[in-house]
Structure 1
Amino acid sequence: MVSKISEGVEISVETFYQADYSNPLNSEYMFAYRITIENHNNFTVKLLRRHWFIFDSNGEHREVEGEGVVGVQPVLKPGENYQYVSGCNLRTEMGKMHGTYQMQNEHSKELFSVNIPSFDMIVPAKMN
């Protein structure tokens, strides 16, 4: 698991290879990731948008951005956390992701950016 705190918000990420949803013969590798977002600020925050940078080990990369996460824009009061699971497909056995969340201070309505730490996605057999 990797974790990072920026702007008073802690982001922790765990990854899981999804063998049942992968097809190595067609260079299709599916990974799930669990993200925990914890608000360490003394004000309520709302997650408005996400922006991901996804890298395959063959040098290909792509960007994904949009509103919220898994169809919601969670609101976290001070000390609260929110957890969700999502997925990413790669064309190679290894890759990585990182990104940002655009968040809003619900008191001042000020927007700010929270860094999502870089995390690896590796087929378990490659780690031997």
Structure 2
Amino acid sequence: MSDPRYQIDVSVVTRYLSEQSQPDQQRFAFAYTVTVQNNGSLPAQLLSRHWVITDGDGHVEEVRGAGVIGQQPLIAAGQQHVYSSGSVIGTRVGNMQGSFLMRAEDGEQFKALIAPFRLAMPGALH
């Protein structure tokens, strides 16, 4: 949405979890920390999430649910909400992308898009 009242920017930092991974069993675990920044002029509540997780073989898993980590945070204008979660895929490299459904204080619902980001075991990419 291009309306400046509804401007949510999402950034993600990932980390490979070697202690929870089992490469010999095609299990690669990753943590990710998401920052949801409200750059709009109205407070907005994060209602739900939609993730598209794609492994290196092209297998796609979609995850939908209410809020994030059991919360539906209300994010004031100029503020941010940060949370961490994780994902397990069957290949050394994959990616995630998605969106959050938001509701602004005036009742307007809109999506905050999450640009694709990479999940990669260290050394998997040259």
Shift of 1:125: 1.7
Match of 2:107 among 106, 109, 116: 109
Residue number in structure 2 paired with 1:125: 123
Question: Pairwise mapping of residues 49-128 of structure 1 onto structure 2 (< 5 A)?
Answer: 49-106=48-105, 108-128=106-126
Task: Name 1:35's counterpart in structure 2.
Answer: 34
TM-score, length basis structure 2: 0.93
Please state whether the residue corresponding to 1:25 is helix, strand or coil: helix
| Structure 1 residue identity aligned to 2:74 | V
Which string of whole-angstrom CA distances, capped at 9 and with x for unpartnered residues, describes residues 18-62 of structure 1?
Answer: 000000010000000000011011110000000000001111111
Q: Residues of 2 paired with 1:43 and 1:8: CA distance? A: 9
Unaligned runs of 5+ in 1: 1-6
Paired AA for residue 124 in structure 2:
K
Separation in 1, partners of 2:8, 2:56: 29
Matched AA of 1:119: F
Matched AA of 1:22: S
SS at match of 1:127: coil
> 4+ residue stretches of structure 1 with deviation over 3 A?
none
Distance in 2 between residues matched to 1:76 and 1:59, nearest whole Å: 35
Alpha-carbon shift at residue 112 of structure 1 (Å): 0.5
RMSD: 0.8
TM-score by length of 1: 0.92
Q: Which amino acid aligns with 1:113?
A: K
Letter in 1 for 2:119: M
Once residues 111 and 8 of structure 1 are traced to their aligned partners in structure 2, the CA distance between those partners, rounded to angstroms, is: 12
Per-residue deviation, 1:127: 2.6
Q: Which runs of 5 or more residues in structure 2 are unaligned?
A: 1-5
What amino acid sits opposite 1:47 in the alignment? L
